[in-house]
Each structure stands twice: as C-alpha cells, then as structure tokens.
Amino acid sequence: MAAATVCVAEPVTTDEDKVGPAQTVYAPDSGRGRVIIVISGQSGPTSYKPYAAELAKIGYYVVLLDGKDILNHSQWPDAKQLHKAIKRATSSSQAEPGKVAVIGFSLGGGGALLHAAAMPNLVSMVVAYYPFTREWVDKINWFTKRFSMPVLVLAAQRDRYKDCCVVETAHAMELAAKANGAKFELVVYPNADHGFNLKTSAPGEPNRAYRADDDRDAWRRTTDMLRQYHPLR
C-alpha cells in the first residue's frame, strides 16, 4: 500500500440504527475529505480495517461496512442499506459534499457491482476486489447493463473459494460490459487466490493467500482510479 501522507483520527464504530447499518468511520486529521464507502467480505469488517485506514491516510473520509448488511441473500435487489449509509456519510461535517466512491471485497464487491454501480447520482466510481458474482452467471447481460460509472474489477485467476467469485464469470462480465458500452476494466492476477490482498485471512477463507506484489498493484490501480474519478479537493 502507498505510504501515508496524513494522520488519521481514531476510528469510530457505531451500531446499526434507523439511520443506517453498522459502520466504522476513519476520518483524516487534516479535516474534511471526500467519502469512500468500503464494503467488507462475508467474514466481516475486521480484515479490511487496515485497508480503510490507509485510504483515510491519503485524506479520504472512509466508512467501512459489513458486506452482509449490503448484499443479503434474502434481499438481492434491495439497496436500501447502502442508500442509508451513503446519505449518513455525506451528511457528516467531516465529509466533502458530492458523490462517493465505493470499494467492495468478495461479497461486498458483489454488493458494490449490484447496487453502487447503478447509482450514478450518488456514486462516482466502483472498485471490486474478487467480487461475488455467482448469483448473476445467467443474468450477466442484465447485470452489466446497470453499470453507469467507471468500474474496476480485480480478480484472482485461482479463485475457487465457494465458487462465488470465479474468473470465468469476471471475463464474461467484461465482455458483456464492454458490449453494453460500460466504462469497465478487468485486471486478473494469474497466481492469486481469493483474498490476495489480506495479510491475515479471516476464518474460513483461503490460508496464506496474501501476495504482496498483487496487493501493491491492486492498490496502485485503485488509487489511480481515485485520482482520476474521485480526486481529493
């Protein structure tokens, strides 16, 4: 990951309430920052806290959510919780006004692609690491037609974790997205497995999946996207 440029205040965690889902907020000490919503995998937010903190060190106001709150198996098409999270984040006194960027991992990556990528009035860009796509294998054209802003997918060639996020579906998504005129980029890491950017795997995820070179490259591509489509002011 990139070197830190500013300090970060202690993260603040709040439970789910009527305003929105449970969240942990990382705010830059420099003051206000543009909002990034980070959505965890199914194992929960813990493994993704270092990533969220690094984004805040760059100068962003970062909200970390649990992927299970955003992509619920019983409510696939329901984007209500993500809408609430975005509204709450952009209402913060430490948030710059405007659209948010959304970065998701695994289950959260699926949520980012299904929900955030179809919110052009609220979201500037989407990055999805090894995203959950199993549910939409037979609906890939419908799925990608909803992409309405720049989308970057970072996939792992060897990913067979619960067959949730296989590279074959990522390639099919790329073909369909480009046929539909979406601004879409797919990067495949040939020796990577699910969770390749996580130094410590969560219980149930592939062990020793971390690949430093792939992590650095994915971080570089993500921050390049942020500079282009969601720059700091």
Q: Which long-range contacts (CB under 8 A, 24 or more apart) does 77-85 make?
A: 77/114, 79/114, 79/115, 79/118, 79/119, 81/20, 81/21, 82/37, 82/111, 82/115, 82/116, 82/119, 83/119, 83/122, 84/19, 84/20, 84/21, 85/20, 85/21, 85/23, 85/37
Condensed to tens digits (0 to 9), the pLDDT of residues 4-20 reads 445 566 899 989 888 99
Per-residue pLDDT of the chain (233 residues; tens, 9 = 90+): 444 445 566 899 989 888 999 999 999 987 899 999 999 999 999 999 999 999 999 999 999 999 999 998 666 668 999 999 999 999 999 999 999 999 999 999 999 999 999 999 999 999 999 999 999 999 999 999 999 999 999 999 999 999 999 999 999 999 999 999 999 999 999 999 999 999 876 666 666 789 999 999 999 999 999 999 999 98
Q: Residue 155 has which token pair?
A: 């996939």
Half-sphere exposure of 22 (CA within 13 A, CB side): 10
Considering the entire predicted model, what is its pTM? 0.94
User: What domains, with CATH codes, occur in the chain?
Assistant: 12-228 (3.40.50.1820)
Condensed to tens digits (0 to 9), the pLDDT of residues 180-193 reads 999 999 999 999 99
- Tell me if 82 sits within 8 A of 70, measured CB to CB: yes
What are the strands of the beta sheet with 23-26, ordered from one edge?
12-14, 23-26, 61-65, 35-39, 100-105, 123-129, 151-156, 184-189
